[in-house]
Structure 1
Amino acid sequence: MATKKPIDPADSPKLVLQGRIVTMNGNLRVIADGRVYTQNGDIVAVQEATAPAPAGFGNTAVTDTGGTLYPGLIDLHNHMPYNVLPLWQVPKKFSNRGQWARHAEYQSKISAPMQTLAATPELLASICRYVEAKVLIGGTTTGQGITLANQSGIRRYFRGVVRNVEATDDEVALPAASTRVPDVAAKDAKTFLTRLKKEKTCYLLHLSEGTDPTARRAFQSLRIGDDNWAITPSLCGIHAAALQAPDFQVLAANGGSMVWSPFSNLLLYGGTADVAAAKAAGVPISLGCDWAPSGSRNLLNELKVAQLFSEANGGIFTARELVAMVTREAAGLLGWERVVGTIEAGKRADLIVVEGTSGDPYQQLIRAKESDLVLVMINGVGRFGDATLMRKLGFAGEAITIGGAKRMLFLAHPAEDPLTQNLTLAGAGERLTRALRGLPALARKAERPRAISPLAMASAGANTWRLALDEVLDTGVEMRVDLPVRTPGGRSLRAAAMRPVFAETKKLSATVMPLAIDALTVVDDAAYLDALDTQKNVPDTIKEGLRDLWS
């Protein structure tokens, strides 16, 4: 039996990076001029530039990055496949998730297009390549992954270079998180609590997305009796926008946490979670982008929105607290604080470098554009960065231009997913651009699926992977690697996995229209900020602030 290759083999080269270091460690130390020593996937030492090199590094060349080093960014809420779609001009103010999910424009511009793409297997590799590169270029080194399913109903996660919180192949150091999109019904609260008590790590649950009593009832449904709640330290509520101050006190008292997605909430609902109340209650908070159609392209934008919202509401968070939400706090919510989230010896070498070393280091990251990132490193391997710097470090890949700056992507990986082998970002982008322009034709093709014989399915179907779109078509399935789950209706995970991938395509051609692909970055999209100006629900303070921060 073949041995399964680990996602992150410890075989990165011996490197020394010099610059200003924002460690985000327990003392929140910032080293004005320091060096980070990495080898075999780990950080070996972090120290002043003048200190003697650690053992074994005496003859290793020092690479001056000319920038400020931070821990890699962690995004705990992102439906990655949808990031090929452009920003939706939200037609009205909604008050809960069920409203916009049924709206005709949402169906035609988000739901039906993604169902069409999911029903076109030859586009799968391009989608995976494009959306992973997109988050990587924005500094994300860890995030939620891309779920795939085949004709046999078997599910797996795309294996890319960005760490996937749901699939790590390292249950000791990086235990996999569980995820769930549908709300938990009150009648299922006891069963859900039993499930939570078995969790050894983070359980990411979409919780009370919206601003009205309907959305809040999703939280109230977790109540079991007077003082008992289906909440444990494993529970991390995504959005939590409808929770009131007493609800956050309950969440904190039971050890729960939350993922805040302010831009998505503002775009759809004109409001977001009462994070001042959450902070006062002691609820740990991280940040998440949600998805490009009604959220941020990357964490650099989400950080900007979070700061603008904080400032408009009395300065809820400091810049340092916001940076912690996408580094040390997010790692803590996952139970990964011993491995990632800070720049310390013994941790994984997940780092980003922002050009320049002057000014407040936390504000520097919040104000950074994609073109300001000169290095994104995962497990000691440079994955994206300044072309000259990447070559100096020994990494050669695909040349791209970001904001007029020459950059390089290095996506080769010893455990690379066979789907994307030899596929360039440029090739993926060109193919997706054509596909989105021709959506009606693709939809007509999806409505005429070829009949597959049992013999053909047995011989080839198991290897024909397609996107599994739980984000749009809730199946009631809890996503977890190698975890047998049954749906509320009693169907197995295998049966439930097939429904969103291979059905619901009969009327797609009457719904979809040609679309433009969403750009990789904000800095290269001159029309993006103008598009934000026309959004009906986003406050002017956010629109004007983003224009200033991205200028």
Structure 2
Amino acid sequence: MKLILTGRIVTMDAARTVLATGAVFVDGNAIVAVQDAQEPVPAGFDAARRIDTHGIVFPGLIELLNHLSYNVLRLWSVPASFKDRGQWQRHPQYVRQVNGPMLKLSQSSDPRVLAAIARFAETKCILGGVTSSQGISLKSDHLQKYYQGALRVVEAPRDADFFKAATHIPDLHAKDWDAFNTELHKAHCLLLHLSEGFDRTALDAFKALQNPATGAWAINEALAGIHCAALGQEEFGVMKTHGGAMVWSPLSNFMLYGQTAKVDLARTRGIPIALGSDWSPSGSKNLLHELKVAKVANDVRRYGFSDADIVSLATSSAAAIVKWNNQVGSLEVGKRADIVVITAPAATDHYSAIIGASESDIQLVLIDGNATVGTPTLMKAIRASGESITVGGALRIVNYGQPDPEIAPIPYTEAVQVLTDALANLPNIPTAPPGLIQAVSARPQRRWTLALDEQHDTGYSLRPMLPFMGQPTGPDVTRVAQAGIVTAPIGPVPLDKASVPDDHQYAANLNGQFNIPQDIKDGLKIYYPV
């Protein structure tokens, strides 16, 4: 299919070219031209469908931090101020409201629950213009895989032209410097949680990357540290020297710790930075809303980013960190057609428009040239079909594409009902271990279950666990998480809303958070009036 999309084109290329009245020419999954709308069309496009978007056209948003399975849960009311990750993971309220419910869902014997989690989490992302994110990890017997839907998965892209990012490392390698360094040098991009907190424990996790015998650092251009909250001037200097990058998640930092990473120091050092929403219990619903938190934090704390810089954290900069910048991250000739169209008044600055946009403003999303989400008018013009859902009272068509062959497809509306019922009936969900099930009049089928980060012993870690000064730099979080279930009663919890326009309590819940500083709360009221 050949397609011409016209509107205000924000390319996010190196020159940050913007065409006030431009056109993007798409042939299949590729962009073949980006030019002024009045110029002659490229050869072969005389009969192409021309879609006047009347909006602003951006590259798709790329997210390098999200624990997608947990996005069925609503914003957690964080009950105390913490200094590092281990503290909040052991808190009884976290066990009751986050850890316990997800463990129960992950063990459900009803295959619709797994399918519903995948459908709901993916929908949350694509409604917010996210075209690439981290995957939903599944397990069956001793097998592991990532759920494959419409969303591009950074750990397992279907296309060989995209490097696979690593987000886990074998447990044994995570605890041994030489083994960790070897794994690091095998990777194109290794996205690992690093220094998650603001105390000495969090800082020691970074210091442990230095070999105590040789002084060498296990940091190179493949390493992208997620959070990097405890790092200061000296540590970011080390990161710069050795080529490391970071992924910033300001809302989650503020909610859990009352402060966020020193991104101003990272910026002035020239550290590559991307943005991540983390997960809905202590982060934004999707990356579109994390842009707002980044904007407020930047303006209040004077980090020095322009609005264009902030948008780059979710587009061109993220693509460069994951080594996909030859494929996505900007609207340029030869790149993939990952495209987001938003509506905004003509006089609105284009960068502030997407920072301030909600899911209701998303008019069209293309992923690899496929129309994935859009208004009925635009989807009809492209001749794309799909499931009808409402976002803030307005109709959207969602095309999920080819379903994952291992997971039975489920309509979004049914997924919402399945999850609503399951979460309302905790802890009485029937459970069964993974394995083979005998289908009626068919060969045995494999039963998949969720492999939750932090809660299941998969043999892999999300972070370096290297010792520092002879002491471990992180607890066995899997044992901590599962032990907490024994002592903390699990009750019903509500399903989160998939979009902010449909979540009428979102602004109040955000404003009521215990740890978010008042100046940040006041800044967020611009986007979320209380």
TM-score (structure 2 length as normaliser) = 0.91
Match of 1:7 in 2: none
- In structure 2, the CA distance between the partners of 1:441 and 1:374, relative to structure 1 (3 Å rule), is same
The CA distance in 2 between the partners of 1:506 and 1:314, in whole Å, is 40
Match of 2:473 in 1: none
Unaligned runs of 5+ in 2: 467-476
Q: Is the 8 A contact 1:115 1:505 kept in 2?
A: no
- In structure 2, the CA distance between the partners of 1:505 and 1:116, relative to structure 1 (3 Å rule), is farther
In the alignment, does 2:197 pair up with 1:219?
no
Match of 1:470 in 2: 453
Match of 1:131 in 2: 121
Q: Is the 8 A contact 2:2 2:49 kept in 1?
A: no
- In structure 2, the CA distance between the partners of 1:209 and 1:234, relative to structure 1 (3 Å rule), is same
SS in 2 for 1:224: coil
Query: What is the CA distance between 1:500 and its match in structure 2?
Result: 7.3
In the alignment, does 2:527 pair up with 1:537?
no
Query: What is the CA distance between 1:506 and its match in structure 2?
Result: 11
The percentage of counterpart residues that share the same residue type is: 42
Match of 1:6 in 2: none
Match of 2:425 in 1: 438
Query: What is the CA distance between 1:424 and its match in structure 2?
Result: 1.0
SS in 2 for 1:441: coil
SS in 1 for 2:118: helix
- In structure 2, the CA distance between the partners of 1:453 and 1:187, relative to structure 1 (3 Å rule), is closer
Q: Is the 8 A contact 1:77 1:143 kept in 2?
A: yes
- Residue from 9, 13, 37 that aligns with 1:25: 13
The CA distance in 2 between the partners of 1:186 and 1:370, in whole Å, is 39
- Which deviates more, 52-61 or 70-79? 52-61
Q: Is the 8 A contact 1:158 1:417 kept in 2?
A: no
Match of 1:495 in 2: none
Q: Counterparts of 1:281-300 in structure 2 under 5 Å?
A: 281-300=269-288
CA-to-aligned-CA distance 1:111-165 (integer Å, 9 cap, x gap):
1111100000421001100110111101100000011001x21011111111000
In the alignment, does 2:500 pair up with 1:522?
yes
In the alignment, does 2:369 pair up with 1:394?
no
Q: Counterparts of 1:42-61 in structure 2 under 5 Å?
A: 42-61=30-49
The CA distance in 1 between the partners of 2:85 and 2:502, in whole Å, is 31
Match of 2:326 in 1: 338
- Residue from 239, 246, 251 that aligns with 1:258: 246
The CA distance in 2 between the partners of 1:455 and 1:175, in whole Å, is 37
CA-to-aligned-CA distance 1:401-437 (integer Å, 9 cap, x gap):
2122221111132x6444242x211110011001101
Query: What is the CA distance between 1:451 and its match in structure 2?
Result: 11
The CA distance in 1 between the partners of 2:443 and 2:137, in whole Å, is 19
- Residue from 116, 130, 133 that aligns with 1:140: 130
Match of 2:151 in 1: 162
- Which deviates more, 80-89 or 459-468? 459-468
Match of 1:496 in 2: none
Match of 2:392 in 1: 403
RMSD (CA atoms): 2.6
Match of 1:236 in 2: 224
- In structure 2, the CA distance between the partners of 1:463 and 1:69, relative to structure 1 (3 Å rule), is same
The CA distance in 1 between the partners of 2:492 and 2:299, in whole Å, is 39
Q: How many residues align?
A: 510
Equivalent residue letter for 2:498: L
Q: Counterparts of 1:111-510 in structure 2 under 5 Å?
A: 111-121=99-109, 122=111, 123-150=113-140, 152-171=141-160, 173-180=161-168, 188-199=176-187, 201-225=188-212, 227-356=215-344, 357-413=346-402, 416-421=404-409, 423-442=410-429, 445-446=430-431, 449=432, 463-473=446-456, 475-477=458-460, 504=482
- Residue from 29, 32, 43 that aligns with 1:41: 29
Query: What is the CA distance between 1:387 and its match in structure 2?
Result: 1.4
The CA distance in 1 between the partners of 2:435 and 2:149, in whole Å, is 30
- Which deviates more, 62-71 or 357-366? 357-366
The CA distance in 2 between the partners of 1:158 and 1:523, in whole Å, is 27
- Which deviates more, 380-389 or 255-264? 380-389
Q: Is the 8 A contact 2:264 2:303 kept in 1?
A: no
- In structure 2, the CA distance between the partners of 1:316 and 1:347, relative to structure 1 (3 Å rule), is same
Q: Is the 8 A contact 2:434 2:448 kept in 1?
A: no
Equivalent residue letter for 1:128: A
Query: What is the CA distance between 1:541 and its match in structure 2?
Result: 2.2
